[in-house]
Amino acid sequence: MTVPAETIVAMPPERGRKRNWLQSESATGLGLISPTLIYALIFLVVPILLVIANSFWTQHYLVVDRTFTLENYRIAVTDPIYRDLLMRSLWISLLVSFFTVVLAYPIAFFISFHGGRHKGLWLFLITIPFWTSYLLRVMSWKVILGYNGVLNATLMGLGITDQPSDAFLYNTSAVVITLTHAWATFAVLPIFVSLEKIDRTLIEAATDLGDGPVRRFLRITLPLSAPGIISAVLIVMIPTVGDFVTPKLVGGKDGVMIANAIQAQFGKAANWPLGAALSVTTMAVVTAIAAAVVLTIRTAARRIR
């Protein structure tokens, strides 16, 4: 009698545990993320691992030598061309994220604080530029900034200049202007969300304690919207470092960025390992800079009292 009794006692908990795990939160969570997870593993993690592997190999014309070498990294880090291109890309991306946030913040602020019942409509209007392709928008900046472009025609028509200038297009500022325009909406949304989350009574409390509109913005609204600013900066900065379409179309020779060099190595130059090493170096540097920017904004927000 004791043996079956034991079996009966022993069985249910085991079965129960199994059923419990399948119904547990972690199982449900895993189930929900697995399609995305599998997709990300195949199309993100595997390619990145391939790129990293490539960066340690050597290209000999049509064959790839798979012996481990750090030569590509030596070139990527020490060759002045790549170093300058990387520095310029970082500088452009920092400028773009700065201007994007400066332009997007007032828009997000207006919608959040004065949008009234029409917040949804305002956000919808903001997305209108996205109805046209990115390429088309870059091309239209060419039309605006070009030698025979809208800007030159306007300046001449107003009598400010007497001949068209070629100073607007094919340089760094053209890249900055174009990218800032392209990314502004992406910056509006996270800032808007963080402003929406601010409890309006906090602003009333600041007013009650004697702060006028400017002081309460600097002491309450701005520091509390820091998470939104951080997301906006990251969303803009990280992809712009790697952008190659805009510099190619409006950058000229002064606007070439690191991604153009990487593209060249994977394309015409047919040196995948060097391209891979440049990519990995860029990723590492961007990660470091992004972390530094996040820390700086956080510290600045905490400093405001």
Partner 1 sequence: MPERTMIEISRVTRSYGAFKALDETSLSIREGEFFSLLGPSGCGKTTLLRMIAGFDTPTSGTISVDGQPMDGIPANRRPTNMVFQSYAIFPHLNVEQNVSYGLKRLRLNPSEEQRRVEEALAQVSLGGLGKRGATELSGGQRQRVALARALVMRPKVLLLDEPLSALDKKLREQMQVELRRLQQAVGITFILVTHDQYEALAMSDRIAVMFGGRIAQVATPKEIYQRPTNCQVADFLGGMNFVKANIVEENGSTITLDTPVFGRVKTDKPVAFARNGNAATLGIRPERLRVLWDDATDKHEVAGKVVDRHYFGEITHLVIEIPGFEKPLSVTETNNFGADDIPVGAPIRLAYDPDALVALAD
CB of 223 to partner 1, least distance (A): 5
**Residue matched to tokens 């060099």:** 261
Q: Tell me how far apart the alpha carbons of residues 294 and 305 are, in angstroms, rounded to a whole number.
A: 19
CB of 230 to partner 1, least distance (A): 14
Cβ nearer to partner 1, comparing 135 with 300: 300
Residue 165 and residue 188 in contact, taking contact as beta carbons nearer than 8 Å? no
CB of 205 to partner 1, least distance (A): 4
Residue 141 and residue 180 in contact, taking contact as beta carbons nearer than 8 Å? no
CB of 190 to partner 1, least distance (A): 18
Cβ nearer to partner 1, comparing 157 with 212: 212
Cβ nearer to partner 1, comparing 118 with 215: 215
By CB atoms closer than 10 A (0-12, 13-18, 19+), residue 198 is middle
185 Cβ contact partners less than 8 Å away, ≥ 6 residues apart: 104, 126, 127, 129, 130
**How far is C-alpha 29 from the geometric centre of its chain's CA atoms?**
27
- Give the DSSP per-residue string, 59-111: EETTEEE-S---HHHHHHHH-HHHHHHHHHHHHHHHHHHHHHHHHHHHHHHHH
275: closest CA among 94, 85, 135? Answer: 85
CB of 202 to partner 1, least distance (A): 5
Cβ nearer to partner 1, comparing 95 with 206: 206
Residues that bind partner 1 (CB under 8 A): 199, 201-202, 204-212, 215, 219-220, 223-224, 301-302, 305
Cβ nearer to partner 1, comparing 185 with 207: 207
Cβ nearer to partner 1, comparing 77 with 224: 224
For residue 295, the one-letter residue type is L
Cβ nearer to partner 1, comparing 139 with 301: 301
CB of 204 to partner 1, least distance (A): 6
CB of 257 to partner 1, least distance (A): 37
Using CA atoms, how far residue 147 sits from 127, 150, 153, 171, 175, in Å, is 30, 9, 9, 13, 16
Q: Tell me how far apart the alpha carbons of residues 142 and 156 are, in angstroms, rounded to a whole number.
A: 18
